[in-house]
Amino acid sequence: MNEPSSAQTAARPNLKDLNYAALQAQMAVWGEPKFRTRQLWQWLYVHHATEYAQMTNLPRALRERLAQFYRLDTPTLVDELWSADGLTQKLLFELHDGAMIESVGMAYDQRWTVCVSSQVGCAVGCSFCATGKGGFVRHLDTGEIVEQVLYFSRRLGATGEARPAAAPRAVSNIVLMGMGEPLLNYDRVWQAIEIWNDHRGFDLGARRITLSTAGVVPGILRLAEERLQVGLAVSLHAAEDGLRDQLVPLNKRYPLADLMAACHEYVDQTRRRVTIEYCLIEEVNDAPQQAHQLARLLRGLLCHVNLIPLNPVAAASTPEGSAFSTPSRDRVRAFQRVLTQSGLPATVRLRRGIDIQAGCGQLRQRHGKEKTNA
């Protein structure tokens, strides 16, 4: 079989952009028996094949036809960092068009969590986020989202070197909290979630998947109608519109009143609680009176507050030139105490990967600077 040219390769769609129904339809068009779809699906999402040659129970003619019409993308690993405690690893990938994204793997006692990117860059532009400072490039395709998890899964299954001895041998949780705003890439993200959840393949329970949003109200309302019970996390960071406009510019489009109404609607429709993510920035949003303000805003909402002390590596400058800082432990605990005394469940996130720039966008940003200075 003649190898396709580079132009032909670029023009071919990625096989992992297809859901099961689309793959089934393609097999039918080619006159393949129905069971071929399941075989192919298992090669992709059970065995995590990276080449058609590995799919040994498929006829050679079918493998050649697949290679002719579909790419089978695996991102190129550009850089890899491990935390000193061995519990967090950060990977920088280069995609087929040269774009770069980050993914993070985190080991806990009984689970291995992968933090996934949904876009190259981000258009939301949160003032303390390294990804937003690089601007928006493009949406990730379904296959590019799915493949981040499969990459970690291959490593965990193949060797103990990619995990601490006590960590599980498989991905157990997925969080869409990496680069980008998932709800601005809704269709591709949701298809990726369905692929991870599909019992014929990767078979990860929907409740083990959490999607984080900066507050895209139409996306939250759409998510409330979905059948899969994925988790919802809302990155709030401020309890009044003036400050949130500065920290999360998306608030100017979807102000707090609209966002809170959407969260209540989500809870009413799904009966699932919302995780409220609140990044604590010293003398910006961490005062006790701001904690009282947050408690009032969230009153009556089924939720849990996840307090996140600002990653010190991400202490980037504001447009005014003043640097953001990480609050002291005492300030963090005082803020938490106000919330719990108000009846809100609130925990402080275990900070992972600070020594390896695990906050989203930081490693990509560093590589961009190195290329510029080269």
Residues known to be catalytic: 102, 360
For the chain, what is the total number of helices (H) and then of strands (E)?
Answer: 13, 12
Q: Do residues 358 and 317 touch, judged by C-beta distance below 8 A?
A: no
Q: Do residues 10 and 96 touch, judged by C-beta distance below 8 A?
A: yes
If you ran DSSP here, which 8-state letter would residue 319 be given? T
From residue 351, alpha-carbon distances to 35, 88, 145, 183, 329 in Å are 46, 10, 24, 25, 12
Q: Do residues 175 and 210 touch, judged by C-beta distance below 8 A?
A: yes
If you ran DSSP here, which 8-state letter would residue 87 be given? S
Going by C-beta distance under 8 Å and a sequence separation of 6 or more, which residues neighbour residue 97? 10
- Tokens encoding 143: 């296959």
Q: Do residues 153 and 170 touch, judged by C-beta distance below 8 A?
A: yes
Instruction: Round to whole Å and give the CA distance between 360 and 313.
Output: 11
Instruction: Round to whole Å and give the CA distance between 76 and 162.
Output: 17
Q: Which residue has the tokens 């790419």?
A: 71
Q: Do residues 235 and 212 touch, judged by C-beta distance below 8 A?
A: yes
- Name the helix (H) or strand (E) containing 149: helix 142-158
Instruction: Round to whole Å and give the CA distance between 374 and 319.
Output: 27
